[in-house]
Amino acid sequence: MTLAVADTSPLNYLVLIGEVDVLPRLFARVLIPDVVAGELRDPDAPLPVLEWVAHPPSLIEICPTPVSPERFERLDEGERAAILLALAQFSAVTLLIDDADGRAEADRRGIPTTGTLGVLRAAAVLGLIDLPAALGRLGATSFRSPAAVIEQLLSEDRQRRQG
């Protein structure tokens, strides 16, 4: 299993839909920059997220954000911190990030990425979750993705379950 570095969005949505517990089955450890932990602790964050970040599982390690003069145009502080922390690792890492600009910046730097949907897909492939139910719960949040992407995931899932 590989190491993951997480931005705010995937953790937020996985907590909100009750699927954050798949992370230990997919990754050896999940590193969270202190900036991201701060975003998850924002008083306006949903209560389940605040409760989760107050007592994260042992798999989660909150780390200082590496110091860098780079500003990363168009990225917020959490995305920037997650990319810097991923770059600072000496072993293989997957960056958990949903933001398109953040993913593009990570790709430019050779950092493999996946987002909330990728985590759910990986968990479904391993038989850890009911993907249609998880996507239904995700659709009830503020998460946005093109309908074609969701339909492709559901189609893959149907094919996989039919053998």
pLDDT in tens, 101-118: 999 999 999 999 999 999
Instruction: Output the domain CATH number for residue 127.
Output: 3.40.50.1010
Domain count along the chain: 1
Query: How far is it, in rounded angstroms, from Cα 20 to Cα 22?
Result: 5
26, 14 Cβ separation under 8 angstroms = no
The owner of tokens 């780390």 is 63
**11-37 mean pLDDT:** 96
Q: What is the pLDDT of residues 67-95, one digit of tens each?
A: 888 778 889 999 999 999 999 998 899 99
Does residue 123 sit in helix, strand or coil?
helix
What's the mean per-residue pLDDT of the chain?
94
User: For residue 130, which of 148, 112, 151, 154 has the smallest C-alpha distance?
Assistant: 154
Whole-number pLDDT of residue 68: 84
Report the range of poorest mean pLDDT among 55-59, 70-74, 97-101.
Answer: 70-74
Q: Is the pTM value of this prediction over 0.85?
A: yes
Query: How far is it, in rounded angstroms, from Cα 90 to Cα 145?
Result: 32
Please report, for residues 60, 69, 71, the alpha-carbon distance to residue 119 in angstroms, rounded to integers and kept in the order given.
16, 31, 28
Alpha helices in the chain (DSSP H): 8-16, 23-26, 34-40, 47-54, 77-87, 100-108, 116-125, 131-139, 147-162
Query: What tokens does 39 get?
Result: 């975003």
Find the domain containing 110 and state its range. Answer: 2-162
Query: How far is it, in rounded angstroms, from Cα 8 to Cα 78?
Result: 7
What is the DSSP secondary structure assignment for residue 32, as one 8-state letter?
A: E
